[in-house]
Structure formats: C-alpha cells, structure tokens
Amino acid sequence: MILNAQEISKSYFPDGVGIGRLILDHLDLSVKNGERIAIVGPSGSGKTTLLNLIGTLDRPDSGNIFFESLDLSEMNDVQLAQFRNEKIGFVFQQHFLLPQLSLYENVLLPTLANKKLQGPKVLERAHRLIDRVGLTAVMNQKPSALSGGECQRCAVVRALINGPQLLLADEPTGALDQSSSGILADLLVELNKEEGVTLIVVTHSEEVARKMDRMYTLKNGKLSN
Amino acid sequence: MTINRLIFRSIKFFRNLNSGVVLGLALSTAILIGALVVGDSVRYSLEQIVQQRLGKTSQVITAGERLFSKQLSTGISRQINTETTALLRSNGFGVIDGGARRVNQLAVWGVDPDFGNFGEDPEAFQLKDNEAAINEQVAQIAGLKIGDEFQLRINKLNTFPANTPFVSVTENSVSAQVKIVRILTANQLGNFQLQNSQSAPKNVFLNLNWLNKQMKLQDKANVILIDQKYSGSDLPKILQQNWRVEDLNLKIREDSLLNHTELISDRVFVEPSVEVFCRDRFPASHPVFSYFVNGFSANGLQTPYSFISSDPDLSGLQINVGKWLADDLKLEKGDNIRISYYQVGPLRQLVERDTIFVVNEIYIPSGETADINLMPDIPGLSDAGNCRDWKSGVPIDLKKIRPTDEAYWKQYGGTPKAFVSLETARKLWGNRFGQATAIRIPGLKSTEFEKVLLAGLSPADLGFEIKDAKSLGKSAAAGGVDFGQLFLGLSFFVLFAAVLLSFILFRLFLNNRKSEIGTLSALGFSISAIQRLYLKEASVYVFFGILLGIPFGIFYNYLIINAISTIWVDVVGTTDVHMHISSLSILTGGLVMAFTSLLTIGFVLNRFLKKQIVHLQRKSASVKLKSGIWSLRIGIIFLSISLLLLVFKGYNKGEINPEYFFISGFGLLPGLILLADFWLCKLGTEEGPKPFSFRKFTLRRLTAERQRNILIISFLATGVFLVVSTGLNRKDLTTNSGNHSSGTGGFGYWIETSIPVLNTPDTPKGRAELDLPANAEIVSFHVRKGDDASCLNLNKIAQPEIIAINPKVFDNRSSFSFAGVLDGVDPEHPWLSLDQSFPDGVIPAFADQTVIQWGLGKSLGDTLFYTNEEGKVVRLKLIGGLANSVLQGKVIIAEKHFAETFPTVSGSTLFLIDLPEKATNLDDLKNSWRIFGPEITKTSDRLLAFYSVESTYLNIFLMLGAIALLIGTVGLGILLYRITLEQIPEYALLVSIGYKKSLIIKLVMLERLFLIVLSILAGIVPAVLSGLPTLTSSVYANLWIWLPIISGLVLLSGLAGSFMAIRLAISQNLVVAIRND
C-alpha cells in the first residue's frame, strides 16, 4: 500500500473564524503501489482539497495520511518539502511553466531544490522523458512558443523528473481541447505503466476517469465507488 | 443600494489596502504643510526678533556722527506726550582677566533708567557708576556672570569728527573697569539694536551720565527712541522745534565791539549746508576761513606755526601781513612770502605744500584784524596756555618755536598773523569738512540769529535721520529669505517620493480591484462612470490623508525648526527660531495636495482603465528577448563622451574643474544604466552549454522582467545619483585662496576693529606701529555703517554697508574676480572704473553678484539710494558684480567719492592684510592690533563662513534626499511586493515541486540584492565622479560618510521591503493560487 488516508477531515473557514464548512468528513482512501485512481465529483466537493492533502500541500484537520509506512502528519514543513520533491509529482490544470525558462529548463526546475537529484543521470532522464512525450524538437523553446497540449506534456515530464512514486494530477486536461485531452490521458496511463508511478487523477472527464483502474466519487465529504 | 453606499462598502472592505494610500497621502501632505509652516515659523521668528530688538520703540532719531544734548529727547517727549529716551551709542571691546580673554566688537550703549520702559522690565537699566548690564550673548561668549568685572575700552566720541584736521586724537578711546550687575534677556531689551539682523548683538549697557563722564562729555547722546504709542509723521518738525544750537554742534557768539554775530562749529569747519543756509537767509553774512599753517618764510627768515585768516577784500595771491609778522620776517609791501601748510588727505593723511604770496599791505592789528575769535576752536590747540602745550592733530616740531613765538601766543593767542583772500584760502585749505571756520553776520543780534537758524535748518541737512525702525524692521523681516519656498525646494525629492508612493499604492489598490472593474464593465458601467465612482472613493482617501497629514506636517515642522536652531543653525544665524503655525499655510497645503492628488489619481485611473481593456485582449504572457546591442552602443557613446570630457576638460592646467566633473558624472549615469540593460539582455539570450543551475534560474528570473528591472534600476540609480551628486556639489574655496583673483583677493586676513584706526596703517610708520613686516600690504576701508546684506542675514536689506577703498590698490594686485560688469567697465582694469564720475553725482559701485541678485534683489545697472549726513540723496550705481568674495554683504565705492559723500566718517574699522612672510601669525596679529579690539579672521575662513550657508543647505538637501530615497525604497518595496504577488503562482508551483520556502525566499532575495546593488553602483559611481573634486578636498573630508550611509540606506530599506514582501507572499496559502476552481 503506497497511500493510506485514515479518517481525514478538513473544513474551510471563509472568514477565518466562526463555523467552518466541512469539506472532507472522516474520509478513508487506500491506494496500492502502481495503481491508477480517478476521483470525480461535483465542483466544490473537495477533490482538489483531497489531492492537496495527499500531496502535502495542505494538512488535514484530523485523521492521518500514511505514505508507505511514513506518517505525514509527523513531518515538519522542511521535511514535507523534501518529501514532495522526492516522492510526489504534481500536474495542474494550468501548466505553470515559467515563461522565462526553456522547456528543458522547466523540466529541470525541481532538481534545483535537491542537490541529490542533480547530475548526469537526471539530465539523461530529462532527455529521455522529453523524447518520450515527443517534445525533443522544441525542448529549447520557451513556453510561449508552444501549444497548450505541448506545455501540459512538458508539465507532466517536470512532475516525473525526480522519479516520484506518486503522481497527482488535478484536472490535467481541463484546459485542453478534446484531442489534446485524449493524448494527455493516454500519456499519463502509459507513463504509469512505464515508470511504475502510482497515479491519482482528479477529473470531471468521464473519458479520463474510465482509463483509470478505479474511480471514486467524492460527495458530502466522503468517497464512494 | 446607492452609489454612495457602494463606495462606503468598498472603503470599509478594502480598509487595510486603503490605509496605505491614506498614509502615503498623509506623508505628502505632511511634507508640503511642514515646509510651508517652516516658512511661517522663520518669518514669525524674525518678526519676533524685530520686536525683541526694538521693544516698544517705533521711530528712531539718529544723528550720524553728531552728538546732541539728551535734553532734546525730553523736549520731544513733552511735546508729543509720549515716552522717549536718549542713548549714547559707541563701540568697544572687553578685556577679561587681565587680557586672558577678550571680547571684541561690543556695542556700548549709554542709557538712562527710562530705557527699561521700552522693554518688558522697567527696572532692567537701573545702573549707576560703573555698573554694566550685558546681554546673554556677551555673557555666553565671554563667559561672564553677574558680579564679574572687566576692563571695557570704548571708542571715545566727540562733538567733532575724529578726522577733523588739527584736532588731536591721542585719546580716541577711553577705558574703564565695569562691574556686571545684570545679564539681560532678549525680552529685557538685551538684544537691542538698530541694524536689521536676526543675529544677537554683543551689547553692554552703561549709565548714560557715567559714560558721558568717561568720554569727557556732558549730557550727550546720539540716538533718541520714540515709544510706539506715537504714530505721527511730524517728528522732523518737532525735532526742529526742540533742538538748540548746541544740539547742532554749533555756537553763536555776539561781538558787540565789532558789531557782528558769529556762527562757529564744534567741528572746527562749518558744514556747507549751514553756510548755504546763512548765505541765503542773511545776504550780509560772510564766511571766514582761518587755518593753521606750518610757517611763513621770507628773506631767509622763518616764523613757525601760525594762524592765518581770510579777508574778502583780497584777491588772488595777495596777502595782508600783520606788523608782528612783517617785523619778524623783515617784510615790505610787494615782498614775496612763502607759506607752508598741510593739505588734508584721506583718513588723517596730511600732505605738506607751500604757496608764495605777495604782500599787499602791512597792517597794525586793530578791530577785526586783531580779533582773536578768528582762530577756530580747536581742542588742544586754541585752548593751550602756551605753544609747548599744543596738542595738535598735525606734527609740530616744538624746536622751531622761539621765545618770540611764545610771547606772541601769550599776548595775542591764536590771532591771525596774516590774511589772504577767501577764495585762495578755500582753494588751498578747503576740505571735505567745510569751506569756512565761521560765518559772520554784521549788525545782527545773536538771539535773532539763533531763532532764524533753529527754525530754518532742516534736520536732514544736518545728518539727523528719522526712521520708523519698527516698520522698516518688520518689512525687512517679511521680505527676506522665504524659508517656506526654500524648504519646499529642499524637500522636493521627499515630496516627490511621497507623492510617488501614494500613487504606487493607489495603482496597487486598483490592481487588486481588477475583477471588480471587469464586473462593473460587464454590468454596463461605462469607463467614465467607473472612473467617477473610483474618483469619488479616492477623494475620501485624499480627505483622510490630508487630515492625517496636518499633524504629521506640524511634527515635521517641529523637527526642522529644531534642526535649524541646532545642527543647521548656519542657515538662519540664530537659535531664536520658534514654531508658528498659520492656518493659511495649512489650508493652502491641504488644498494644493487635494487638487494635485485628485488630478493625478484621475490620470492614473484613466490610464489604468484603458490599459485593462488592452490587457483583456492579450492571450498569454511571453518573454521577448532582445540582444540589447543598441543599449550597448548608446551606453558606450555616453561612457566615452563622459570620459573624454573628464580627461580633456576636467583638469585644466593642473586645476580641477568641478563643473566638468559633474557633467562627466551626469553622462556616465545613463551610460551605466544602458550597459546594465545590455548585460541583462545578454544574460537573457545566453543559451550556451552551461548546465541549468540555481544561479542561472535567478538570472533567468531577472532577465524575464528586464524592462521592469531596468526601470527599477533607473529609478534607484537616478535617485542615488541626484541626491549624492547634488549633496557633494560643494565649492572648495580654500584651494586657490592664495591667488589674487580668488575670493580672498590674495589677502590673508580680514580685520574688523572695535575702535577706529585714524591713521592709515599702510605706511612704513603704520606697519612699524603694528609690528607688521615692511612688505606687508594693508588695505584700509572707510566704512559707512549699514546693514549686512550677506547671505548670513535673513532680512531683506535696502541699504547695505558701504565700504570705500583706493581702487588702484586692487587694480595693481588684480585682486578678486568679477562675475559680471556693465558695458563701459574696462575688463582689464575693472577696479579703476570706481573712480569714474557719472552725471548727476551718481557714484559707481561694486558688490558681490550674489548680494546684488539675492540680498538686494537687484541687477547690474540698478541704483541704490542712501541719504548722506547733509541730507542729500546719494545714488550708487551697481556697475560690477564680484564673484564669491570676502567683501560679500557690502557695497564698494572709491574712497574719493566716499570722502566727498560721507566726510565726517572718521578712521577705518575694516582692513585686509596680505602678509607675504609667514613669520606673522594670527596670534601676532591679535597682539599687535589689540588696542583696537580687533576681530581677526583668515580670509579663507570668512569665505567658508559665507559658504557654510550654502553648504548647510546642501547638507539639508542630502539629509532630506536620504529620507526621500528611504521613502522611495518603501515605494520600491511596494512595487516589489506587487511583483511578488503577481509571481505567487510561480512560488506555489515551486512549493508543489518541493522547494522549501526558505529556498524561495533566498531566490527572491538574491534577485533583489542583485538589482539593488546594481542600482546603487549605477548611481553612486557617477555621483562619486561628479563629486570627486569635493571628495578629494581636505575641507570636505567628512562628506565621504554620505556614500556608505546612502548606499546602506537604500540597500537596507530595499532588502527589508523585499523581505517583507516575499514573507507576506509566502505566508499566504499558496495552494489557492494553483487551485483549479
């Protein structure tokens, strides 16, 4: 089991005080190594919140999240940053590529935060992954010269550069047209298989969800099959 | 819901953001109002100083060099039914602890107790015998306290001018031990003075009768004060009705035997105006001119030292000789007789000459020819019992006096031994003091003559001056330097920075409401409607900003007033500056601020709204990369021009040329900014094989925002350059001070004496008496007292002090330089132009160009008006302006014009000395001049004292500039915060891929550090270059400190602002930035 979320709850306090709005209510989720999970649900149901909790960008109000045997709630911010850098990959609805960097440099961006990840091996991996997603020809271009689909594929490579065990994708196809959306979904599945990375995708797209091993619906703060 | 309610809700909701705008506006208002109130405060303080220095005095009667009876004051008081008081004003110096300490340039006032009624303490001037009251200034300078005694040496006043020919001046000062019984405050009239100056005088007050006694005078005074209760304008008439003949220093005597009434003067010579009056009123009157000659010689015989008089019946070189003289020289009718005599030159210079006359008649003295009264009353001479007791102002060789001469003196006194024609007597011996020694009116009673004389003479003709001192003082105070405008100018950068800050905040405020603007637009609000809505909202912030700025402004004013009373005291020359708040200034400041704020906000709003529409049309952010080759090319051109200018013009014949250093630095600034731009471009386009690293990432971030970063660099570098270079732009007046063409004229020392020096020291004898080397060059100035028009006086001066010299002296030395001269002035020999005579008696004059322009508000070719001691209007035409010189504050004319215009001004109190030998130092000079109470300053120090005003202004500018930079960097911090906010999604991404927050902070701080250091370097390097002549000067060694201070200030505040911005950004929930919904 790579991920085990137990009884996690999260509320939001729009005014910072008073009675909060319960988003996740004693939610449980277990994900096996290499598994592909889709999480669907209506807007505002807490899908991104759940993904952020899993990705350690946020902390639950209660409950525990275990990554393998590691209790994430016991880690401080610095440890969590390192954890994210080494174990987690993120893909967002927007590609968030830095306009001043080339595609290749954007891919290498996560390696700057961790000296252990720097060196010839990572460069070789970057070249291989870029080639894998078909961006070798434009790897020295700036994001402004590329299409949305190309940028999003680059964002996927960036998420995988450090060899994470868990890839979290938050509406990765949300900003793409149907054709690009299909290509990206296939790419994620293929990379899941090739890299052995566990994949959790939050999506509104049934087409994308169907490509996953399991699909959960998040409603009223709880997951259901 | 109404528009107003929407505005109210917006104000409430965005209150935190708005508070920044309000604070920025408050700061701007504070600076504006603060500067205006500084103007009010200085103006008010100057008015208060006028009030303190004059007390309840309104009009003042002075009589120039003349002394009158103090009863004149009583008579005037009785007639106008208002309090008056008579004063005797002289100069002096104090010797304390047997000479261990000295205090020079004292104003010594003889006062009656009723002088106290003109101040707030009527008992303050109850002085008797040798009791003295001093003001706080003297007490502080001399370290004196109540009960102390010191030796006071006072310039001895007489009823005749000290320069009067033949009058002995062996005692031109008197000395007395005085005891301090009171130290007077300003409110007790301690700072009483008639000069328009804010600086406290050094006053010593003594009992009037006691002072008279010390000067061997009786009941004499030279100033009358009139209480402010009297506001009439008929004082001249009242003065006329109350004066007596003795008040005019005249005497009337009736000779019943000779049947005439005679008018003579205490001043030996009857003033021309009096003579003219007598001639007009009494056609039968005739002038008498008697003179003391050195001797007669004829037939190989000599008769020494005798009086000779005039006979209107003689003409040409005819002479009637008394029998005694004829016998003595064995003369006969038709014989030639040589008369040797002294002619009167400047100061007390005498030139011995002789003239041969032809004996017309030998008479036996009787009647008028035997009249001993023909001899003028010359103290020390006419009253001597015998010839050996003569105390004359001319050298007398007593060895020449024979027993027969003594016998004549004993028998006939100073009865003339011969008569020459009046015309010849006047031609040979007439002088600046007069053309007659008596006026005789045949057959007139003295009482009748006195009546006509007193009623007919005009006060102005006799040198009496009646001035409304209070009104003139107030107008001088009000018309002086406008500190409000001055501080507005000095605070320009602070004001600019504060206004800029407000608008950066307002821009930020608008940026935060982009979506609201979009919504309003989508809901059908037109741009102008949105503009009106936001303008209304902004006017509320402007109102509160101004309201809050008023107390801040008062506090800012408080700080400035404190500073100009202490560390910046050089600019006001007094510590007596108090805060005064005028509601008009506050209202003006508030309205100006409201108007400019709303205007600018409207402009910003308009631009923002238009830009927003364009922005909506833009698809995505892209980074345009430029090679920057044009920046490189233009930058190199700037750099080259600036360096070439420096090499070829910066040094001229071994002399540093500060102007070219400044221009060179000014050119270097854009050059460096453009090179920085090129560098950023180059970094941005650098693809190379170098691996992607943290450094490369930082540089990529910098180059991505190249335009914005270059803007920041330009803003900061220009700010640093302007503040530092302007602050460093000082003149080193000491480097070339030895040159004759410099502001010192090549003279080493400036000496002002408390007691006039009557004989010129620039003679071998004079130098020997003063222990000066034989080759020392001394220039004596004749001085007509007036106001100081230098930059050290804040009052507006209409009649500066006049000083006179022999122009040839300065011409021979080529002393001083001219900033400008009128056409017609020989540029090779400008000084000689002072000797010119213009039509209608206009006198050519020079003054410092700065005094002409700023002190007097005049320009070359303009005329200054004075009234001389005969009541005549004297017109001085400004024909040349001196470049910064030690003569600042004074108007310079030729001594020949001075002697004609101000004949009774005696002696000299001002000197310039050039000591070629280093043997004589300041202490030697002080010692040798000590009997005159000298204030000796090095000319270079005097120049620096004048320059200290400008220098202090520059210090103020530097300090305020530093504050402006501080505010500017706060603005920069806000700008960086805005950039940081815009970059939040980027930070969020970095967090999501595992960047620690500390690493992100490091990244941003490195980037900002790079920017700020680059900005400082781009600003400070040209600034140092432009100020290099000043920085390398030994006089301004302390200015180096400003470089690290300003650099440190900008660096620290910039980094602090950046750190706060990034901390604020990072502390937010970054995840929100990358949420999908």
Read off the pLDDT band of B686 (50, 70, 90). low
Q: A113–B999: do the CB atoms touch at under 8 Å? A: yes
**Among candidates B691, B700, B996 on the partner chain, residue whose Cβ is nearest the Cβ of A78:** B996
Nearest residue on chain B to A108, alpha-carbon basis? B692
The complex's ipTM?
0.77
Nearest residue on chain B to A43, alpha-carbon basis? B1077
Q: B994–A109: do the CB atoms touch at under 8 Å? A: no
* Per-residue model confidence as pLDDT tens digits over B111-123: 999 999 999 898 9
Nearest residue on chain B to A85, alpha-carbon basis? B994
177-216 of A, contacting B, C-beta below 8 A: none
Q: What is the mean pLDDT of residues A51-78?
A: 89
pLDDT of residue B1077: 44
pLDDT of residue A15: 58
Please choose, from the candidates B787, B879, B792, the residue with its C-alpha nearest in 3D space to the C-alpha of residue B837. B879
Q: What is the mean pLDDT of residues B600-622?
A: 64
pLDDT of residue B918: 65
Q: What is the mean pLDDT of residues B914-934?
A: 79
pLDDT of residue B383: 79
779-818 of B, contacting A, C-beta below 8 A: none
Give yes or no for residue B547 having a pLDDT over 90.
yes
Q: What is the mean pLDDT of residues A189-207?
A: 90
Q: B692–A112: do the CB atoms touch at under 8 Å? A: yes
Query: B619 touching A, CB under 8 A?
Result: no
pLDDT of residue B521: 63
Nearest residue on chain A to B688, alpha-carbon basis? A140
Read off the pLDDT band of B510 (50, 70, 90). confident
* Per-residue model confidence as pLDDT tens digits over B700-712: 888 877 877 888 8
Contacts across the A-B interface (CB distance below 8 Å) = 105
Nearest residue on chain B to A84, alpha-carbon basis? B994
| Residue among B692, B979, B1004 with most chain A CBs within 10 A, to mutate | B692
pLDDT of residue B894: 95
* In contact, B675 and B710? CB cutoff 8 Å: no
CA distance B906 to B909: 9
DSSP labels for B541-571?
Answer: HHHHHHHHHHHHHHHHHHHHHHHHHTTTGGG
Q: What is the mean pLDDT of residues B972-990?
A: 77
* Per-residue model confidence as pLDDT tens digits over B41-72: 888 888 888 999 999 999 999 988 889 999 99
**Among candidates B994, B1069, B1070 on the partner chain, residue whose Cβ is nearest the Cβ of A113:** B994
Chain B: closest CA distance from residue A214 (Å): 22
* Per-residue model confidence as pLDDT tens digits over B253-276: 999 888 999 999 988 889 888 999
Q: B1076–A93: do the CB atoms touch at under 8 Å? A: yes
pLDDT of residue B617: 42
pLDDT of residue B489: 79
* In contact, B251 and B109? CB cutoff 8 Å: no
pLDDT of residue B32: 85
Query: B701 touching A, CB under 8 A?
Result: yes
Q: What is the mean pLDDT of residues B511-537?
A: 74
Nearest residue on chain B to A46, alpha-carbon basis? B1077
Give yes or no for residue B1068 having a pLDDT over 80.
no
Q: What is the mean pLDDT of residues B939-949?
A: 83
Give yes or no for residue B615 having a pLDDT over 60.
no
Read off the pLDDT band of B571 (50, 70, 90). confident
Query: A78 touching B, CB under 8 A?
Result: yes
Query: A75 touching B, CB under 8 A?
Result: no
pLDDT of residue B790: 84
pLDDT of residue B618: 41
DSSP labels for A154-174?
Answer: HHHHHHHTT--SEEEEESTTT
- Average pLDDT value for chain B: 85
Q: Which residues of B699-717 are buried (b: 16+ CB within 10 A; e: fewer)?
A: bbbbbbbbeebbebbbbbb
Residues from chain B that touch A144, judged by Cβ atoms under 8 A, are 620-623
* In contact, B135 and B189? CB cutoff 8 Å: no
Chain A: closest CA distance from residue B679 (Å): 16
Residue B301: left if φ>0, alpha if ψ -120 to 50, beta else—which one?
beta
Q: What is the mean pLDDT of residues B852-862?
A: 87
pLDDT of residue B653: 57
Q: B1076–A174: do the CB atoms touch at under 8 Å? A: yes
Please choose, from the candidates B732, B734, B681, B673, the residue with its C-alpha nearest in 3D space to the C-alpha of residue B704. B681
Query: A104 touching B, CB under 8 A?
Result: yes
Residues from chain B that touch A158, judged by Cβ atoms under 8 A, are 993
Give yes or no for residue B786 having a pLDDT over 80.
yes
pLDDT of residue A66: 94
First-to-last C-alpha distance (Å) of chain A: 18
**Among candidates B687, B991, B1071 on the partner chain, residue whose Cβ is nearest the Cβ of A140:** B687
- Average pLDDT value for chain A: 88
Query: B403 touching A, CB under 8 A?
Result: no
Read off the pLDDT band of B656 (50, 70, 90). low
Q: B994–A110: do the CB atoms touch at under 8 Å? A: yes
Q: B994–A57: do the CB atoms touch at under 8 Å? A: no
Give yes or no for residue A142 having a pLDDT over 80.
yes
Nearest residue on chain A to B620, alpha-carbon basis? A144
Residue B415: left if φ>0, alpha if ψ -120 to 50, beta else—which one?
beta
% chain B with pLDDT above 70: 93
CA distance B364 to B370: 8
Give yes or no for residue A13 having a pLDDT over 60.
yes
Q: What is the mean pLDDT of residues B451-465?
A: 89
CA distance B342 to B360: 24
**Residue owning tokens 């994620």:** A188
| Residue among A96, A97, A170, A176 with most chain B CBs within 10 A, to mutate | A96
Read off the pLDDT band of B688 (50, 70, 90). low
Nearest residue on chain B to A78, alpha-carbon basis? B996
Give yes or no for residue B326 having a pLDDT over 60.
yes
Q: What is the mean pLDDT of residues B813-821?
A: 89
Q: What is the mean pLDDT of residues B476-497?
A: 79
Give yes or no for residue B625 having a pLDDT over 60.
no
Residues from chain A that touch B1077, judged by Cβ atoms under 8 A, are 43-44, 48
Read off the pLDDT band of B597 (50, 70, 90). confident
Query: A100 touching B, CB under 8 A?
Result: yes
pLDDT of residue A165: 93
**More confident: B628 or A157:** A157
Q: B995–A81: do the CB atoms touch at under 8 Å? A: yes
Nearest residue on chain B to A112, alpha-carbon basis? B694
Q: A113–B700: do the CB atoms touch at under 8 Å? A: no
Please, which residues have CB within 8 angstroms of residue A101's CB and are 6 or more apart in sequence? A109, A142, A143, B697, B700
